[in-house]
Amino acid sequence: MGEAATGQLSLSRLLSLADINFLLVNKLMVLVVVLLFFVAVIVLRRSKGQVAPADAWASIKLALLGMVLLYLETALTAYPHYRGILAGLQGVIVLLCLARLVIYLMVDLVLAIRLKGNVPMLVRDAVRLLVYLLAALFSLHMVFKVDLSAVVATTTVLTAAVAFAMQSTLSNLFCGFSIQSDAKLARGTWLSLPEKNLFGQLDNVGFRYTTLRTLDNNLVLVPNNQLVQSIVTTHGNRVEDAHQRAAVTLTVGLPYEMPPEEARSLLLAVLAEDSLILAEPAPQVRLQALAESCITYLLKFWLTDPQQRNQALDTVQTKVWYAVQRAGWNFPFPHRQIVDTPLRPSFPPPREAVLEGLRLSHLFEVLSGDELGFLADRARLRVFAPGETAVRQGEPGASLYFVLQGVMAVEVDGTQVAELEKGRMFGEMSLLTGAARSATVRAVSEARLAEVLKEDLACLLEQNDRLLEKLSQALERHQAGIRDHQAVRVQATGQAHLSASDYMRRVRAFFFGGAA
């Protein structure tokens, strides 16, 4: 009992030492300071084109109310009873104005500067609660003349009962402080909770819950204690170093007949072309398992922004499908029954479309009907997803492409110079002379191309001696037409002034060897 009495006496003395009677004596000074400070805040914010905080307007109104009460207090000298009530009420308002001033200075100035404007809601609420609690204690002691030592002794049992009843709330409160102090759970970090099937960006940490913003821009409120007790995967954020950011992984199953090195090269080429994927750290492809129906490959890559995770998975898997189909392979799948009918191909054979394109081409008008049919039968179908590259400028080539469906963009030195639609062709110089590709041709939409290879045309040249001369003359006319309509492409090819005999030497050298 002696120690308790001593503690109560010490608390009373401490509050007496912190007596703020001078604030109540100088009420007008406190109210004027608060009023002028928040008026200056509003004027400064509006001069910068910013919205004035709502707390500033509320503080100004509170200070004006305190001045009105101060005037009434001085005016009611003949009514001491009412004057005492007004004095007590005004004391509370003065302390409340002072508390608002302290909160603004601590949160919106000191903490905002130190945390670069991102003051967590948990810290804001904690500061407000502490300041208002101190203001309430001083109000009880100075305005209402309440003995705080007796209040503390009386509320000890009540505090214990309230704490027992608010176990969940207090658990969330302490877990909120734990989350706030963890650097790995900084604001803006992308998190996934597998148990809750949840993926989102950490938007705010409060007393009771943490707010996550999902990819659908929905706000999900997760209780702090559940976030702390669950298995959480962090995926980093946009501003941190890419080497510290979590990678995105994707598994792809390819057939056993496809050599692993070919599979790795194909998958890496797809990853290298995707604009959402970082070039550094470099994407990786690893053989993960020899599964029951396929070889499983693990694709690992890093994104410029974790928010693009779903979009990147969509584009990568789409381009993998097209690349695998174009390479002549299919995706294996387990069969549960005997299939005795042929599978329907993803794309119909291109013979008729190629034959029509060859007949309309001035370059191949020298071929007979049988020769055109031969090339059409041997043509390969190539399908490209939007954004994929069919040929790249400067790379060697020995084939020609016909556009059967879709739109292809032609780029020279990074600048788009033309678009090719159905019925157009490109790569004729590479097919006939082996020249390097003069432009980059990229799919704008899903494009179906028919490819005619060098070996297909070589068979016709061996059977028809005059075909070489005819093709050389046709090539000269074809290039002359290009010079008239597409000067930029012709300049890039370097073939603007070759004659039919020059083309004939180059075609002969390419197909039969010897000097050009």
Domain span at 440: 351-512
Mind listing the pLDDT tens digit for each residue in 238-256?
A: 666 656 677 888 999 999 9
Mind listing the pLDDT tens digit for each residue in 131-174?
A: 777 777 777 666 666 665 655 555 555 555 555 555 667 677 77
Secondary structure of residue 144 in the 3-state scheme: coil
Mind listing the pLDDT tens digit for each residue in 471-502?
A: 777 777 666 655 555 554 444 444 445 666 77
Q: Considering 310, 326, 342, which residue would you say is the last residue of a domain?
A: 326
- My answer on whether 357 and 431 are in the same domain is yes
| Residue 341: per-residue pLDDT | 64
| Poorest-pLDDT segment among 2-11, 185-194, 291-300 | 2-11
Q: At what angle do helices 121-138 and 80-103 cross, to 10 degrees?
A: 150
| Residue 370: per-residue pLDDT | 85
In sequence order, what are the residues at sequence separation of 6 or more whose Cβ sits closer than 8 angstroms to the Cβ of residue 315?
274, 276, 387
Q: Considering 192, 212, 234, which residue would you say is the last residue of a domain?
A: 234
- Does 95 fall in a domain? yes
Does residue 447 register a pLDDT over 50? yes
Does residue 343 register a pLDDT over 70? no
Q: Considering 131, 165, 199, which residue would you say is the last residue of a domain?
A: 165
- Does 339 fall in a domain? no
- My answer on whether 293 and 322 are in the same domain is yes
- My answer on whether 384 and 481 are in the same domain is yes
In sequence order, what are the residues at sequence separation of 6 or more whose Cβ sits closer than 8 angstroms to the Cβ of residue 402?
350, 353, 354, 357, 358, 379, 423, 424, 425, 449, 450, 452
- Does 336 fall in a domain? no
Average per-residue pLDDT in the chain? 77
| Poorest-pLDDT segment among 69-83, 154-168, 334-348, 460-474 | 154-168
Query: What is the DSSP secondary structure assignment for residue 111, as one 8-state letter?
Result: I
- Does 341 fall in a domain? no
CATH code where residue 317 lies: 3.30.70.100
| Residue 440: per-residue pLDDT | 94
Report the run of H or E that residue 352 belongs to, with start and end: helix 351-360
| Poorest-pLDDT segment among 45-54, 154-163, 333-342 | 154-163
122 versus 389: the higher-pLDDT residue is: 389
pLDDT band at 470 (very low <50, low <70, confident <90, very high): confident
What percent of the chain is predicted at pLDDT more than 90?
Answer: 17
229 versus 120: the higher-pLDDT residue is: 229
| Residue 14: per-residue pLDDT | 43
- Does 337 fall in a domain? no
Partners of residue 204 on adjacent β-strands: 211
pLDDT band at 64 (very low <50, low <70, confident <90, very high): confident
CATH code where residue 218 lies: 2.30.30.60
- Does 286 fall in a domain? yes
In degrees rounded to 5, what are phi and psi of residue 125?
Answer: -65, -35
| Residue 300: per-residue pLDDT | 93
| Residue 496: per-residue pLDDT | 47
Whether the predicted model's global pTM rises above the 0.75 cut:
no
- Count of the separate structural domains present in the chain: 4
| Residue 160: per-residue pLDDT | 53
- My answer on whether 53 and 155 are in the same domain is yes
- My answer on whether 201 and 257 are in the same domain is no
Does residue 107 register a pLDDT over 70? yes
| Residue 493: per-residue pLDDT | 44
Mind listing the pLDDT tens digit for each residue in 380-420?
A: 888 999 999 999 999 988 888 888 889 999 999 989 999 99
- Does 331 fall in a domain? no
Per-residue CA distances from 467 to 371, 372, 374, 454, 462 (Å): 10, 12, 14, 14, 9
pLDDT band at 203 (very low <50, low <70, confident <90, very high): confident
- Does 257 fall in a domain? yes
- My answer on whether 186 and 265 are in the same domain is no
| Residue 244: per-residue pLDDT | 65
| Residue 299: per-residue pLDDT | 95
Does residue 296 register a pLDDT over 90? yes
In sequence order, what are the residues at sequence separation of 6 or more whose Cβ sits closer than 8 angstroms to the Cβ of residue 390?
382, 384, 401, 408, 441, 442, 443, 447, 449
| Residue 411: per-residue pLDDT | 93
From CA 199, how far away is CA 36, in angstroms rounded? 47
CATH code where residue 502 lies: 2.60.120.10
492 versus 92: the higher-pLDDT residue is: 92
- My answer on whether 11 and 150 are in the same domain is yes
In degrees rounded to 5, what are phi and psi of residue 16?
Answer: -65, -40
Cβ atoms of 306 and 189 closer than 8 Å: no
- My answer on whether 500 and 378 are in the same domain is yes
- My answer on whether 317 and 379 are in the same domain is no
Tokens of 38: 């928040």
- My answer on whether 142 and 219 are in the same domain is no
From CA 376, how far away is CA 154, in angstroms rounded? 98
| Residue 59: per-residue pLDDT | 84
- My answer on whether 362 and 409 are in the same domain is yes
Place of tokens 């071929």: 367
- My answer on whether 42 and 79 are in the same domain is yes
| Poorest-pLDDT segment among 119-123, 437-441, 489-493 | 489-493
